[in-house]
Amino acid sequence: MLYAAVEVVWASAGATVPWTAHVSYAPAVHLLLAALALLAGGACLATTRTLGRPGRVAVATGLTTALPVFVAGTAGLPIHVVTLATFSGIESATGLAQVLLDTAGATVLLLAGLSYRRRLRGACPRCGRPHPGPADGPLVHPAASRAPVRTRAAAYLLVCGLLPWAAAKTVWTLGGSALGVSGDDWEATVDVRASGPSKALASAGIDVTVLAATVGVLLLLGLLHAWGQVFPRWVPFLSGRRVPRLLPLLPAWLTGFPLAMYGTVLTVAAPLVALGVLPGVEPSPPFTTRSGITWMIGFGGLAFAGLGLGLVVAAGSYAARTRPVCAGAGAVAGPFGSDRRGACGPRHIGA
């Protein structure tokens, strides 16, 4: 209802809400999004009721129709995060608000759909396993573990897509030339567009976006390895404690999916532009040639899609490996009170 109210106010006031750098939402789109939000809200409420087959079909249709729309609206979230983290200011308050509303809507719909799917399968809506008793009792957590070899290999391979993009930017910040752009031209562009912290990093040969990507890679590594489930020794007051699941999962999901979508579009568009299927991109400073900016679009697509998909893969594995179960489901104890072996495993509660 909040989402719908904001969209109606923007449509009535004729507010400018950017979708991309050059395209804004039309008033009719705001009204359509408001109607979709109300439909999604009704579907979420219906997931808690006992429904017949027509009702279940209607709820599933409402959720599956609204979720992709809200997920698509989160595409600009990583850009806003980098802008805020580098103190570069907010280009559009309404644009940021729209992205945050879409992110909240997508999160709520995803959680509601997941619990509803579990309920339809006769499982606990909270832990996903069938068990007697209520779904609000104590939870037990599995032992810390790392992702399977294939999952780690896939994530590492995807993250390698960052290398061409990061290499080009690093060459520019160090004063070299790449893709027809000199280090001086790149520095001049940074001086005009960047904030104080970004300029300071650039003067040290560090591009702020490469630094942000490095943070993303560290997040991915934590999702793949056991140390991402236990606070390390150097963390005051939390050393040895279990890391809350959503602490790494939320940033991984909220940045992974938008990055994957955005990067995939760029990765597909770059070769089509090079082959003449799509119109060429006019170079803008610091780029001086169409070929240079086309290559950079391709590099950016590989980087964003690779990091985004890598985060999604790692987060999926982390979510599966760390999913707690209700105590009534017969989970057994591990370092943090549980393990995923059966109730008759060698280590269990009361053994």
For the chain, 351 residues long, the average pLDDT of each consecutive 10-residue run is 94 87 85 94 88 86 90 81 69 88 90 88 84 77 92 96 92 87 79 54 64 90 93 83 90 89 91 88 84 91 94 95 80 40 37 31
Structure confidence at residue 157 (pLDDT): 97
Structure confidence at residue 287 (pLDDT): 86
Structure confidence at residue 334 (pLDDT): 42
Phi, psi of 326 (to 5 degrees): -65, 145
Q: Answer whether 334's CB lies under 8 Å from 142's CB.
A: yes
pTM of the model: 0.77
Which two three-digit tokens encode residue 334? 């591990």
Structure confidence at residue 51 (pLDDT): 82
Structure confidence at residue 342 (pLDDT): 39
Amino acid at 97: A
